[in-house]
Chain A
Amino acid sequence: MLSSTTASSNFHWNLWLDFQNMWQYAFMQHAFETGTVVAVIAGIVGYFVVIRRLSFAAHALSHIGFAGAAGAVLININPIFGLLVFTSGGGLAIAGLGRRASSRDIQIGTVLAFMLGLGVLFINLYKGYATEAYSLLFGEILGISSSDVIITLIVGLLIIVVVAMLYRRLLFTSLDEDVAEAKGISMLTMSICFMLLIAVATSIAVQVVGVLLIFALLVTPAAVAQRLARRPSTGILISVVIAVAATWFGLFISYYLPYPVSFFITSSVFIIYLIVRVLELRPSFLA
């Protein structure tokens, strides 16, 4: 094997040693750094996505982002800028479409299909290979450069600050729209703010798991957390812990097995979800 002269790539039960081996590689450091930031953000923003019942909108934004990223590839700039522009635009449009989340599915679905078509056109116009599209759809966490890490970190910290500032209003409008509105909180403003938050979170999450698999980090951990915790702050913490744990576990496993990282991340999230659902079912079975 090629790596015989360098760090061992065999698994040891000493996990600290394993991590030290992995982190000798710059690309693994970048993957862990970006993966952690993205998982923290997805855990936080995802919690609000779930309690506001906006998971379809979040899904749509990632597809809208695909068109943006493909467009950025076409004009030869960093795909993350295309992602940011398109998801923010899409987020504003969705926020402006309808007042209540539940009535938006049809409009969102319409925009989603059109944007995917636009993405296909951009990939077609791009005089290169469809591999670019694959890395957008499924993520390419092993190919993250140090400048990508810095962009992700800055954007991630920005999202945390904004969420911290809006936390109470965001929670209030999510849990009871009518009372919040009666108290003088503008639904439209909060809706716009939140859609922009999803847009930005989606844009940075695409690097890790890609457009198609973004649900794994944005929705599933938060869905589990919502089942486990009544207090929102505890729920957010659980959501973050699950997302980070799945990302780390996925990256860890991928070091030893020759399969895509995104598969390991999405399947560990899914297994956690299954376990929680099964544990929930059991008491009612016994009763």
Chain B
Amino acid sequence: MKKIPYLPFIIVLVVIVIIALAITHIKPPTSFSNGSKIQVVAAENFWGSLVSQLGGSKVQVLSVVSDPNADPHEYESNNADARAIATANYVIVNGAGYDSWANKLINASPNKQRIVLNVAKLLGKKNGDNPHFWYNPNYVNTVTKNMEQNLIHIDPVDSSYFHRQYSKLVASLSGYQNRIKTIKKRFSGAKVAATEDIFAYLAQAAGLNLISPSAFTEAVAEGNDPPTDSVVAFQQQLQSGQVKVLVYNEQTVTPLTTSIKQLAVEQNIPIVGVTETVQPPNTSFQVWMNAEIIELENALNARTLGH
């Protein structure tokens, strides 16, 4: 048998390809110059909506995850999104494992001039913490303040514009945030349940007592099977009549959450649907939040009046 004549050839091929790729390496023009818009990529449309309201006419925002029918926990990246992240001036990711694909895309396209806002890091959260930060009004305020500072850092010439935009946004956000305070005044301590831990921060802000087993809500959020005892405990809570409202995540639906919802219907427990991302995608963050909180308020009212 002869010695293989092709192996050296293959090694050479690999080397050539890599050299060729290295030579053609041209840095994409990402630096921001005055007059052009700041290119912003938000991993999800809730952060995208906020930064686009802050940046106004000075920014162009792409929100990667915005499909109302898809579970944001299960997004798979495509080439156009990877390109957008590679060339952006400003990237906003939620972090805490919610959008690890975004971090991978960022690391695959190193760019020293690009500013990355990792919301979880800003809030001092780590992987494993409840990542639905946008449902916490205090976190939202911290993040918008930071976004304003980042935009000014990228484009200092327009700092007074960003200041004005920020004041407008704060005023606009106060609508839904005041409504949360109203709920807290009227229904503080009311027992509620949720199919997913998306509602945990809002329940806390509104002074509601979220009694559904956290083992269940966390497992659903992380795409795992909840432990059996947590399912049993959840069902018993719904049957015992102590739950005033069931909050149902419409974007993270499993056969199990559907059966929980069905049980709540049978028990005449009002159901409030909430979503991970801004719905419908063309509305603003605060309009979407406000609509969900009105629905929650109505459900709490209905239960109180009905009994």
The residues of A with any CB-CB pair to B shorter than 8 Å are 2-3, 5-7, 9, 19-20, 23-33, 36-37, 40, 44, 123-124, 127-135, 138, 140, 142-146, 153, 156-157, 160, 163-164, 167-168, 171-172, 233, 236-237, 240, 254-256, 258-261
Contact = CB atoms under 8 A, between A and B. Distances in A.
Contacts of B56: none
B17 A140 contact: no
B127 A258 contact: no
B86 A27 contact: yes
Contacts of B127: 127-128
Interface of B: 1-7, 10-11, 13-14, 17-18, 21-22, 24-30, 36, 39, 41, 60, 62, 73-80, 82-84, 86-88, 96-101, 104-105, 107-110, 127-128, 131, 219, 221-225
B109 A25 contact: yes
Given A6-B28, A33-B17, A236-B4, A129 B223 contact: yes
Contact of B74 (A131, A171, A172, A255): A131
10 contacts: A2-B39, A3-B83, A6-B30, A9-B80, A27-B86, A28-B82, A36-B18, A40-B13, A144-B108, A259-B78
A19 B13 CA distance: 17
Given A32-B17, A40-B10, A167-B7, 20 more contacts: A2-B87, A6-B83, A6-B87, A26-B109, A128-B127, A129-B97, A129-B131, A129-B222, A134-B74, A142-B78, A142-B79, A142-B108, A143-B101, A146-B110, A156-B14, A157-B14, A160-B11, A172-B1, A233-B2, A236-B6
Contacts of A160: 7, 10-11
A130 B223 contact: yes
A135 B83 contact: no
B24 A23 contact: yes
B1 A171 contact: yes
B101 A131 contact: yes
A24 B26 contact: yes
- The interface centre, meaning the residue of B98, B131, B224 with most chain A CB atoms within 10 A of its CB, is B224
Q: Which 8 A-B pairs have the closest CB atoms?
A: A127-B128, A143-B104, A130-B223, A128-B97, A27-B108, A145-B107, A142-B82, A23-B24
Contacts of A5: 29, 36, 39, 87
Nearest to A240: B10
A26 B111 CA distance: 9
- The interface centre, meaning the residue of A2, A37, A123 with most chain B CB atoms within 10 A of its CB, is A2
B267 to A, nearest CB: 30
Contact of B88 (A2, A26, A27, A146): A2
Contacts of A29: 21-22, 24-25
B14 A36 contact: yes
A127 B79 CA distance: 28
A164 B4 contact: yes
B76 A138 contact: yes
Given A5-B29, A128-B127, A129-B100, A23 B21 contact: yes
A258 B80 contact: yes
A168 B28 contact: no
A177 B277 CA distance: 60
Given A20-B24, A23-B24, A131-B101, A237 B6 contact: yes
Nearest to B227: A124
A130 B222 contact: yes
Contacts of A128: 96-97, 100, 127-128, 222
Contacts of B84: 2-3
A142 B6 CA distance: 30
B239 to A, nearest CB: 28
Nearest to B96: A128
A58 to B, nearest CB: 20
B60 A2 contact: yes
Contacts of B222: 124, 127-130
A260 B76 contact: yes
A135 B108 contact: no
Contacts of B110: 26, 145-146
Contacts of A20: 24, 26
A142 B77 contact: yes
A264 B241 CA distance: 53
A129 B109 contact: no
Given A6-B87, A9-B83, A25-B82, A140 B1 contact: no
A41 to B, nearest CB: 9
B6 A233 contact: yes
